[in-house]
Amino acid sequence: MMRTVEALLVIIILGGAYVGASTLVTLPSPGQTSPTNLNMLALTTLQELDSRYDLSSAAFQPVSSPQWGLLQIALSASLPANVVYNLTVYNINAGLNGASLYTPVDSFSNAANLGAGSDGSSYLVASSNVTYVSTPQVISTDGVPDTLYILNCSDTAGWWITGYTPSSLAQQVYSLLSPYFKTTIMVQNTNQLGQILNDKPLQGETINNAIVVNTCGEAVPIPTQFSTDTSGGSYYPYDYLLGTDTRIYNWTWVSIVGYPFYYVTNTGFLTQSGTQNGFGIYGMYQVGSPGLNAFLEGLDNLADTDNGTWIAGQPQGLSYLTSQAQSLCNYYGLYPSPYQTSTRALPASILSDYNLVVATGLFNTAIDVSGHNLGLVNPGAVYRHWVSVKTNYEGGFLALGMARIPDIRLAALGILCNYQPIKYSSVYSAAASNRVVVLQLGVIGGG
């Protein structure tokens, strides 16, 4: 019984002490326990005011312009009622030593002072009369500008370019790559292509070290003069010639999709009955696997053979751009999907078979699951053919083994990733084109 009484007395004493202490404790206000982040509030407010260019527009208006008053109304409506502000616009001028000088243009406030607990943020705005200029470096070899040839042959057909025509793809290639070349030539027909293959310039351009972009997909244009360039009824000797010329003139041949050199096309002489690619596309002849093998034999200066070995595989799952390629997407402003479906990826074995190196890997390599047992395959890369040592190159090619519907941005990205021309610093053409807006905030009413 005594122990029960003692326990009750202890409880009464502790409870009384707790109540007494509670009356003496002063809890902090919500504003003290969770204060407003004035720096972040100022920055987000400035960004919101400029979301439709209103802040940038007002900052360059004369002080007497009604836009200043509208800007203050918008600012007051954007902030909590207990937040006071001061907004000041500064002009940026260059000093004698190159440093920036900030001179106030105008300011407005809704309080005489912001108190001791103020904070703020700055925001750079540009005038609407600013001109953005970017000058890309011209791609060249040993100081001599390279030529860009785009095969826009009107007397050809395309394959594995579903939804496009060779001409429409040629126009896209021109818009994406021509700024990086001193000379870009649209090869308008197969006769002009034949002229280039015979070392005869079309416009006085440099033929050596050129980049040749074939826009016909799996088909390659063939000039009429090579109409009898067959062996056993196949045109693979013509593909051998393309490989030979690529080596002799140190070209970079670009295949934009599918299995390179699988067909030849000329709507002028490939017109006889039954001459089509097997899918009803006339003006086209199926060379098959020997086409790519013959090109590689010509590139490596081997004897040409009717080699029907299939050398294209399929990586498991999707193929992804390399980290370097994805990084350069931002630099060059090209944004193809970072993952693609590849069914015509070339095997790593061609490196030793034909003295090649991967100069630029556009996609990550993977294991072939096509059933051809090709081992490691590469969905997209720029290959260089080397002679004597692996720093002495003669010819190369870009192969993109994508599955139909070409994204021509991948071809442009492959070339730019390989040559990596510089995009020179952009400049503003207008003087006093930048201003800084500083928004300072304070809290009144005890938070």
Condensed to tens digits (0 to 9), the pLDDT of residues 84-101 reads: 999 999 988 765 555 668
Helix (H, G, I), strand (E, B) or coil at 343: coil
Three-state secondary structure string covering 412-425: HHHHHHHHCCCEEE
Mean pLDDT of 416-435: 78
Three-state secondary structure string covering 62-112: CCCCHHHHHHHHHHHHHCCCCEEEEEEEEEEEECCCCCEEEEEEEEEECCC
pLDDT at 34: 45
pLDDT at 33: 41
CA angle 218, 219, 221 (to 5 degrees): 150
The CA distance from 218 to 164, in Å, is 13
Quick one: which of 381, 373, 310 has its CA closest to 342? 381
- Work out the angle between the directed axes of helices 323-332 and 408-419 (0-180°, nearest 10): 100
Quick check: 82 pLDDT over 60? Answer: yes
- In the numeric block, the tokens 């006071």 are attached to 84
Decide: 315 and 373 in contact? Cβ < 8 Å: no
CA angle 173, 176, 181 (to 5 degrees): 90
pLDDT at 140: 95
pLDDT at 100: 64
The CA distance from 447 to 433, in Å, is 39
pLDDT at 1: 57
Name which residue leads in pLDDT, 93 or 422.
Answer: 422
First to last CA, the chain: 55
Ranges 214-218, 255-259, 326-330: which has the least confidence: 326-330
Residues of the chain with CATH 3.30.1140: 35-126+431-443
pLDDT at 116: 72
Mean pLDDT of 339-358: 96
Mean pLDDT of 426-446: 77
Decide: 346 and 330 in contact? Cβ < 8 Å: no
The CA distance from 280 to 112, in Å, is 82
The CA distance from 282 to 190, in Å, is 16
One-letter amino acid at 45 equals T
pLDDT at 135: 86
- Confidence tier at 30 by pLDDT (50, 70, 90): very low
One-letter amino acid at 248 equals I
Mean pLDDT of 64-74: 93
Pick the CATH number of 35-126+431-443 from 3.30.1140, 3.40.50, 1.10.510, 3.30.750: 3.30.1140
Quick check: 28 pLDDT over 60? Answer: no
Mean pLDDT of 19-39: 57
Ranges 27-36, 214-223, 311-320, 392-401: which has the least confidence: 27-36
Q: What percent of the chain has pLDDT over 70?
A: 87
pLDDT at 95: 59
Name which residue leads in pLDDT, 13 or 10.
Answer: 13
Decide: 215 and 166 in contact? Cβ < 8 Å: yes
pLDDT at 233: 75
Name which residue leads in pLDDT, 389 or 175.
Answer: 175
Mean pLDDT of 65-72: 93
Q: What is the mean pLDDT of the chain?
A: 88
